[in-house]
Amino acid sequence: MVRFSVLEPWTDPRGGQIERVRIDNGILALEVLSLGGIIRSLWAPDRDGNRANLVLGCDSAEDYLTQDAHLGAIAGRYCNRIANGRMQHHGEQYQLDVNQASNCLHGGSEGFNRKLWHLGPLSDGVRLTLQSPDGDMGFPGNCTVQLDYRLAGNNLYVEILASVDKACPISLTQHSYFNLDGSDSNHGHWLQLDAQRYLSMNEVGIPTGIERVDDSVLDLRRPTPLGAGLADAMLAETQGYDHCYLMDNPQAELKRFGRLSSPVSGRALSLYTNQPGVQLYGANFLQGTLGRQQEVLQQHQAVCIEPQMLPDSPNQADLLGNAWVEPGELYHHISRYQFDTDA
């Protein structure tokens, strides 16, 4: 049974209120905001059965609206990067909002992370919906989004459906920053990934090719401490991991990506997804962001594991997955976050 609790709302400094709810099945619990579809807190047990929050967050709407780290939010209408904020489809050119170097990142400066979503209960979780109008951050067509957070045992399911009335690329991801033991660094977290390939990229994060991970710091097929390879030249420009790994999943089934674990708490998180890629981001540029209790967050204090369509794939048709959604088609993202403990 999942308990659904309504918490005291926050005042939105832009006007109106931000709803807050908690869902709890006795194993996992979430606090969810109507702002940005944000998961503000996610509680899971350690090896001794003690529950604690595993994601970074803020204490007010003002702090969420001030930071640009996308803490716990849904990134979209198209997460990750689109080169030069430009794309073309069916002979039409589109200029998007440019908000990172020369790119449109995570849907632009007023992306889905800053929108107010409609929120309501499900029998096993919470459902959020959003209407994004034609031209929002330059994206074509009216876009309707349905987001479900559902709890089943030690699993969190994130399922997203979206449709448009004009062809538009869609890629939505959950951008939580995970820290499984409450430490001030992710360096002691261990990560194992099944991926054998990743996207090489230029100096502003746009894909330039597909490479194998063999004999590189990006080969995480065996469990590896996240801090072990930070001095490697491959990670110098990004100041850590900020790379898109490719799933070998042509049928878009729910398939295992990898496992993050903490030997300190015994907690482990395994991700399964139907998406063609997963961005691994080591919070390389998090420093200076305000977190809970006005804590100034540090570089590498957590890690993001972001299932998604591939960056710039609206412009690079040879990349895995078809990013463009046509009227009458349905975008479907489902990911399962499985929380376990090691002895």
- The set of catalytic residues is 175, 306
> What tokens appear for 177 in the block?
């920053």
Question: Token match 């920053």: residue?
Answer: 177
> What tokens appear for 47 in the block?
């090896």
- Least Cα distance to 41 among 25, 63, 21, 12 occurs for 21
Please report the DSSP string for 157-219 in residue order. Answer: EEEEEEEESS-EE-B-EE---B-SS--S-STT-EEEE---EEEEE-TTS-EEEEEE-TTSTT-
Cβ-contact 332, 270 below 8 angstroms: no
Helix, strand, or coil (residue 322):
coil
Work out the number of other CB atoms within 10 angstroms of the CB of residue 231.
Answer: 9
CB-based contacts of 1: which residues, under 8 Å, 6+ apart? 25, 26
Helix, strand, or coil (residue 61):
helix
CB-based contacts of 62: which residues, under 8 Å, 6+ apart? 13
- Least Cα distance to 130 among 150, 152, 107 occurs for 107
Please report the DSSP string for 86-137 in residue order. Answer: EEEETTEEEEPPP-BTTBEETT-TT-GGGSBPEEEEETTEEEEEEEE-TTGG
